[in-house]
């Protein structure tokens, strides 16, 4: 692992933006895996700003989202499809053919998971995967106990994840308890992974990711075995 310590959230966002743009410009047809939530917002904001200044183009890139809630339409304001369109896709030069997000409203969810997994294979896997981390070590929606060789699948969300994510809904009762997520094995197939960690509340997760036992009880620990991982974390996350 390459560990990059930065001053604060803004510097973390600057660092990952530079790395992202480097891969965007260096690779002929880059394939990116993207995360949602609070942590990558700064990255997407900076990418839109660079695009608006004419500095970069996304016309040769392909995007795969990590996950999506089951039961939410893509136009639902709390869906991850809506998040990605609002934060990034609607503001850059990408077509719908370049964007892949699991369909949480699919009639046959198993078939949808298999379809998504095959799309990633057909793209020759992900060149750069952006990850956040849950306080329980989940990556994507792969909660503790998920097998390391798991592929894209329907998963149950833990009570702690539902509680944390309730801030994006009107009430905790509105938070879906299931999601489609790339599996841990799918994520580990990525050629390069960058994990972003910000805030004092993530300090124990950071410590366990880097130094803890590699165990399915803490999914992010598997990153210790990947050949090309960078963790960018701010000073608050390094609190312990």
pLDDT for 52-97, tens place per residue? 999 999 999 999 999 999 999 889 999 999 999 999 999 999 999 9
User: What are the boundaries of each domain within the chain?
Assistant: 2-234
Considering Cα of 61, then 84, then 180, then 1, what sign does the dihedral take? positive
Catalytic residue (one of 65, 68, 138, 189): 138
- Give whole-number Cα distances, 38 to 88, 131, 155, in Å: 14, 12, 21
Q: Which of the pair, 119 or 176, is modelled with greater confidence? A: 119
pLDDT band with cut points at 50, 70 and 90 for residue 168? confident
Q: Which of the pair, 177 or 224, is modelled with greater confidence? A: 224
Catalytic residue (one of 65, 67, 112, 117): 67
Where is average pLDDT lowest: 15-19, 31-35, 236-240?
Answer: 236-240
Q: What is the pLDDT of residues 100-148, one digit of tens each?
A: 999 999 999 999 999 999 999 999 999 999 999 999 999 999 999 999 9
Q: Does residue 136 carry a catalytic annotation? A: yes
Q: What is the pLDDT of residues 188-221, one digit of tens each?
A: 999 999 999 999 999 999 999 999 999 999 999 9
Residue 240 has pLDDT above 60, yes or no: no
Q: Which residues contact 186 (CB under 8 A, 6 or more apart)?
A: 117, 120, 150, 151, 152
Catalytic residue (one of 103, 136, 142, 165): 136
Total residue count of the chain as it appears in this document = 240
This prediction has a pTM of 0.94
Does an H or E element contain 5, and which?
strand 2-6
Considering Cα of 112, then 126, then 63, then 9, what sign does the dihedral take? positive
Fold of the 2-234 domain: Rossmann fold (3.40.50)
pLDDT band with cut points at 50, 70 and 90 for residue 160? confident
Q: Does residue 143 carry a catalytic annotation? A: yes
Task: Tell me which residue of 237, 238, 230 sits closest to 198, measured CA to CA.
Answer: 237
pLDDT band with cut points at 50, 70 and 90 for residue 169? confident
Catalytic residue (one of 117, 143, 153, 234): 143
Give the helix, strand, coil percentages of the chain, each rounded to 5: 40, 20, 40
Q: Which of the pair, 176 or 105, is modelled with greater confidence? A: 105
């Amino acid at each position: 692992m390459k560990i990059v310590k930065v001053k604060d959230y803004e510097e973390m966002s600057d660092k990952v933006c530079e790395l992202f743009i480097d891969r965007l410009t260096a690779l002929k047809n880059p394939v990116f895996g993207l995360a949602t939530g609070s942590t990558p917002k700064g990255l997407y904001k900076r990418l839109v700003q660079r695009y608006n200044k004419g500095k970069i183009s996304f016309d040769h890139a392909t995007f795969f989202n990590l996950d999506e809630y089951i039961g939410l339409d893509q136009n639902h304001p709390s869906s991850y499809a809506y998040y990605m369109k609002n934060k990034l896709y609607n503001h850059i030069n990408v077509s719908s053919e370049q964007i892949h997000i699991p369909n949480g409203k699919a009639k046959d969810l198993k078939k949808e998971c298999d379809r998504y997994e095959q799309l990633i294979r057909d793209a020759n896997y992900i060149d750069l995967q952006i990850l956040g981390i849950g306080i329980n070590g989940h990556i994507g929606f792969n909660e503790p106990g998920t097998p390391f060789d798991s592929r894209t699948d329907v998963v149950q969300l833990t009570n702690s994840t539902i509680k944390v994510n309730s801030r994006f809904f009107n009430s905790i009762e509105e938070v879906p308890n299931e999601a489609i997520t790339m599996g841990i094995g799918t994520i580990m197939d990525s050629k390069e992974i960058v994990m972003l960690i910000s805030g004092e509340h993530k300090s124990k997760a950071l410590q366990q990711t880097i130094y803890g036992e590699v165990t399915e009880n803490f999914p992010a620990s598997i990153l210790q075995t990947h050949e090309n991982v960078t963790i960018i974390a701010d000073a608050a996350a390094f609190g312990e």
